[in-house]
Amino acid sequence: MTLKLTEVARIAADYCAHLPGWAPLGKDALRRVAYPVMQGICFDRASDDVYRPLSFIDVLVGYPKGTPGLGLAKYLRHKRGAPQWSVRLRDHERDFNEVLDAMVRQFRPRVLVPLDPLEVVSIYENEEYHNTPKAYELASLHAYYDHLREARTWCRRFWEIDAQRPYPDALRRALVTQLETWIETGTAREQVDAIGRENAWRLSITV
């Protein structure tokens, strides 16, 4: 049986107490913000009364949304090499310190080091695999920092990646076209910042 939200909320609170600067995000996740990005840890509920820690990034200046995006989503790897570390509810207290230590070692950005948005940009750019969401979010991040040459580069990269898809990414095609217009009119930073602040408000985040 899948874990109840109340059980996951208790699990999340246990980890939050050991992660300075982190706060609850809903009942099943934690978050910290260094605008214009948010880093999160979700305790993904699975069958058989287990949870699986999942690290993710939400680029707030990406696109309008009501729920967090799951950029750079990575499950915690098990110490024996399994791609996901599944923790049974009955083993939570026994395994807590070991799982927390693994989160500190594996998750990027590092969860005990102050969050640096420019490190997030670097992590995104150094990913081996880029898709249309990553390309668009990188273009938006660079636009926020007035890195207009880089923003244009990632807009072009978006179109290259999109052309290789079996189906076009219609949503982000419209967003990239809009972003390219903002870049050329000199309003990109203002416009993506407005998106970021709206997203932060929807997620009850103060920036």
Give the phi and the psi of residue 146 in degrees, each rounded to 5.
60, 25
Asked which of 75, 106, 137 is the last residue of a domain, the reply is 106
**95 and 9, same domain (yes or no):** yes
**98 and 128, same domain (yes or no):** no
Tracing tokens 């950029």 back to the chain, one arrives at 71
Averaged pLDDT of the chain: 93
pLDDT score of 25: 94
pLDDT score of 33: 97
pLDDT tens digits along 23-69: 999 999 999 999 999 999 999 987 778 999 999 999 999 887 777 77
- The tally of domains found in the chain comes to 2
Give the phi and the psi of residue 190 in degrees, each rounded to 5.
-60, -45
Contact 164, 124 (CB under 8 A): no
Is residue 82 predicted with pLDDT exceeding 90? no
- pTM to 2 decimal places: 0.92
**11 and 68, same domain (yes or no):** yes
For residue 207, tell me if it sits in a domain: no
Confidence of residue 83 (pLDDT cuts 50, 70, 90): very high
Confidence of residue 3 (pLDDT cuts 50, 70, 90): confident
Confidence of residue 123 (pLDDT cuts 50, 70, 90): very high
Asked which of 106, 133, 155 is the last residue of a domain, the reply is 106
pLDDT tens digits along 148-196: 999 999 999 999 999 999 999 998 999 999 999 999 999 999 999 999 9
H helices present in 78-167, as ranges: 92-106, 117-125, 132-144, 148-163
**145 and 78, same domain (yes or no):** no
